[in-house]
Amino acid sequence: MAISYSYSIAEPDSSSMLLGTMIDAVTSRITTKSFLIGDIFDLFELSLAFSSLTTTGTTGAATLAGGVLNIPQYSGMPYKMYTVLLTQSGGTAPAKTVLYDDVSGTIEFVRTAVGTYTCTITGVDTFTSAWYAITDNRFSLGVNQNYMVINKTASNVITIYTYKAGALSDGLLLNTPLEIKIF
């Protein structure tokens, strides 16, 4: 028996040979044989080949039948999504950096009072089924007790409240992520 790492490293091609074991299909005998790399590759290529690729339906799993790979088509997510980073200071409305928007309507942010900001969504078919989340990346319940609250306050309005030491306060949104999904 030789030590495999004592041999030099080769750069094989399809005509190079490998040493391996083969099981006889009839006798189940295991024998040591030499194999061409190209022949091994052909075995994999043959088992992965299909004659055509089609897409069918809108649901279900991909199937392989008669050499045809059928992959279902999906229309996308069952909701529209809006993802934004909000930054606010002083008496101004939150500035937004839109990360993703496939909502067909208009989304506007307004400062309505100290620490109170509305997000009004107009021009969408429906806003009755919505999911929304805001991440408090600067808030804590420590000494200053900074926190925020987000509520749906009208049929097309989400209101964000920011608090510092228990009182509504401006200047607490700094690249704060907000995500809205409309179903």
Q: Mean per-residue pLDDT for 171-176? A: 91
Judge if 38 and 103 occupy the same domain.
no
According to the model, what pLDDT value does residue 114 have?
A: 97
Residue 10 lies in a domain: no
Residues 93, 57 within the same domain: no
140 and 58, same structural domain? no
* CA distance to 4, 160, 162, per residue, from 171 (Å): 67, 13, 9
Work out the pLDDT band at 52, boundaries 50, 70, 90: low
Is residue 90 located within the same domain as residue 125?
Answer: yes
Q: Is the per-residue pLDDT at 141 higher than 70?
A: no
In a domain, 31, yes or no: yes
Average pLDDT over residues 61-86: 75
pLDDT tens digits for 12-43?
A: 777 777 777 778 778 878 888 877 777 776 66
Report how far residue 100's alpha carbon sits from residue 109's, in angstroms, rounded to the nearest whole number.
16
Arithmetic mean of pLDDT, 47-74: 60
Where is the domain boundary, 52, 72, 92?
A: 72
Residues 150-159: b if buried by 16+ CB within 10 A, e if exposed: beeeeebbbb
- Domain membership of residue 3 (yes or no) is no
Q: Are residues 92 and 170 in the same domain?
A: yes
pLDDT of 58 > 70? The answer is no
Average pLDDT of the residues of the chain: 79
**Number of independent structural domains in the chain:** 2
140 with 91, same domain? yes
Are 58 and 148 found together in one domain? no
Q: Using 50, 70 and 90 to split pLDDT, how confident is the model at 125? A: low
Q: 66 and 49, same structural domain?
A: yes
Report which of residues 1 and 170 the model is more confident about: 170
pLDDT at residue 13 in the model: 77
> In terms of residue numbers, what domain contains 68?
16-72
Verify that 96 and 61 share a domain, yes or no: no
Q: What is the pLDDT of residue 26?
A: 83
Gap between the Cα atoms of 120 and 82, Å rounded: 12
Q: Which pLDDT score is estimated for 23?
A: 80
Residues 67, 90 within the same domain? no
Residue 106 lies in a domain: yes
User: Torsion over CA of 158, 162, 167 and 168, rounded to 10 degrees?
Assistant: -60
Which parts of the chain are beta strand (E)? Answer: 17-23, 30-36, 52-56, 63-65, 68-72, 80-87, 95-101, 106-113, 116-122, 130-134, 147-154, 157-164, 167-168, 176-182
Tokens of 62: 């991909």
